[in-house]
Amino acid sequence: MKNFENKIAVVTGGGHGMGRELVRQLAAEGCHVATCDLNEAAMAETRDLARADGLDARITTHECDVSDEEALLAFRDQVVERHDTDHIHLLFNNAGLSGGGSLFTASRAAWDRCFAVCWGGVYLGTRTFLPLLVAADEGHIINTSSVNGFWASLGPERPHTAYSAAKFAVKGFTEALITDLRMNAPHVQASVVMPGHIGTSIVANSAKYGADEIPEDMAPMMEMAAELFRTEAPMSAADAATVILDGVRAEQWRILVGDDAHGLDAAVRANPEQAYDGSGFLEAFREAGGKSPLRNSPTTPII
């Protein structure tokens, strides 16, 4: 799929960050887009920006929690109706949030919520839209994992279990899907996206849509952490979306996004036994010239 003009794409998590920028860049190439999110106002802003940027593309917004299969089925039916189609060409399973860092100190609800969105949203999204992809003459599934899909850490003193487990699952699922598609639907491809620190609103959205309530006295610190995560990232969401779409055009099944992602990938591959060796791994990584995506905030995930 070398260009996206007159194709139909589904993008989850399109209200902010990489999802929003994927919608905008797809629409700018004349791709028709259906996007879902939990924030209707944010989706409306995405739609307006995309219409201002784009060609004569149809852009529809849909409220949907990707961890809810019934909601995803309703979203699919709305896409079929509002785009007057029996197929789609592109599925970006992009929605995600963080939470449930530790099995000891985090709540079960926060753990389950993070896993249900980050893994369940990809699995259910693929199952829901797969028949529409198969019905097209060509199709592509793009699943967002993370550097935490190959390095399950935020550092030696910051447990990160739910998010990492979900992102490892997304990576493994997508890799296995390559063979499944080759055997059963060879005109459909799959890619796994592994971003480093990208300037998105995931910290703010995790606080808003995660399972745990933020104590009132912690709210200002969370807002500051969310803003710093977005504004001080080494790569913008727009640049990340460009890398992803270029990877789709090039038929890359594995799309690393950001210098930090490339550096961590190389470091883990070079020293897998030392990847969780306290601070030694990060020190060696930095000494080798790697730029760590980690930030000081204990609430900051990598995506």
The residue assigned the tokens 């036994």 is: 273
Catalytic residue chosen out of the listed positions 123, 163, 209, 276: 163
- Coil, strand or helix: which one is 303? coil
- Coil, strand or helix: which one is 87? coil
Please state which of the ranges 189-193, 207-211, 268-272, 278-282 shows the lowest mean pLDDT. Answer: 207-211
In CATH, what number does 8-287 get? Answer: 3.40.50.720
The domain ranges of the chain are 8-287
pTM: 0.90
Closest CA to 254 of 209, 199, 302, 190: 190
Alpha carbon distance 233, 237 (integer Å): 9
Examine the pLDDT at 274 and tell me if it is beyond 70.
yes
**Is residue 276 among the annotated active site residues?**
no
Write out pLDDT tens, residues 92-117: 999 999 888 999 999 999 999 999 99
Among residues of the chain, what percentage have pLDDT more than 70?
A: 83
Q: Which residue has the higher pLDDT, 298 or 101?
A: 101
The residue assigned the tokens 């504004």 is: 231
Structure-derived torsion over alpha carbons of residues 251, 66, 50, 84, reported in degrees to the nearest 10: 80
The DSSP letter of residue 72 is: H
How large is the average pLDDT for residues 172-186? 98
Cβ atoms of residues 14 and 93 within 8 Å: no
Among residues of the chain, what percentage have pLDDT more than 90?
A: 72
Identify the band that residue 296 occupies on the pLDDT scale cut at 50, 70 and 90: very low
Find all residues with CB under 8 Å of 214, minimum gap 6, and list them.
207, 222
**Encoded tokens for 100:** 């449930």
Examine the pLDDT at 279 and tell me if it is beyond 80.
no
